[in-house]
A = this chain, B = another copy of it.
Amino acid sequence: MRRVGIVDTTFARHDMARDAMDELKQLCSVKLERRTVPGIKDLPVEAKRMLDQGCDIVMAFGMPGAAPIDKQCAHEASLGLIWAQQLTGKHVIEVFVFEDEATSEKELAALAEARAREHARNVYRLLFKPEELTKLAGTGQREGGPDAGPLRR
């Protein structure tokens, strides 16, 4: 059975990991392994450890704040997640929701859940249905929001 690593933070304000695991369970039969770290900059090494220990793919969840320093932390975490992928040759699907992406807590939680679920579907496709992704190539998919759609010529 394929193994999917799930790593998230105590810093985030919504339990996106739960949403994604729920979605994955509905989509397919995989072994789920979960770890939680304090903040987004702790995600890259935990993702690498899970991939080194046999996970086929990892989902990394984070919810950076809205201040400039938070964007910088997210940037550092993203680079770390890309290195983890380069060193292991496996995908890490980054699921970050920025606090300033919505104007109310309710809206932000809904966005976080929707993005977590849509990215769980991406993980399912990467593992089992890569041809579905190619069918969607260039169609302006947006995880958690309305799709942008293909450009009209």
A residues near B (Cβ < 8 Å) are: 8-18, 34-38, 41-42, 44-46, 48-49, 52, 63, 69, 71-73, 75-87, 89-94, 98, 105-106, 108-110, 112, 119, 122, 126, 130, 133-134, 136-143, 148-153
Tell me if A72 and B71 are in contact (CB < 8 A).
Answer: yes
Residue ID in chain B nearest A92 by CB atoms: B45
Nearest chain B CB to A136 CB, angstrom units? 4
A16 to B130, CA, bound (A): 18
Contacts A86-B83, A133-B10 given; does A15 touch B78 at CB 8 Å: no
Tell me if A10 and B45 are in contact (CB < 8 A).
Answer: no
Contacts of A89 in B (CB 8 A): 45, 48-49, 52
Copies held by the complex: 5
Tell me if A85 and B152 are in contact (CB < 8 A).
Answer: no
Nearest chain B CB to A70 CB, angstrom units? 11
From B16, B52, B78, B136, A138 is in contact (CB under 8 Å) with B16
From B15, B17, B73, B139, A10 is in contact (CB under 8 Å) with B139
Residue ID in chain B nearest A143 by CB atoms: B38
Contacts A72-B71, A76-B75, A91-B45 given; does A8 touch B105 at CB 8 Å: no
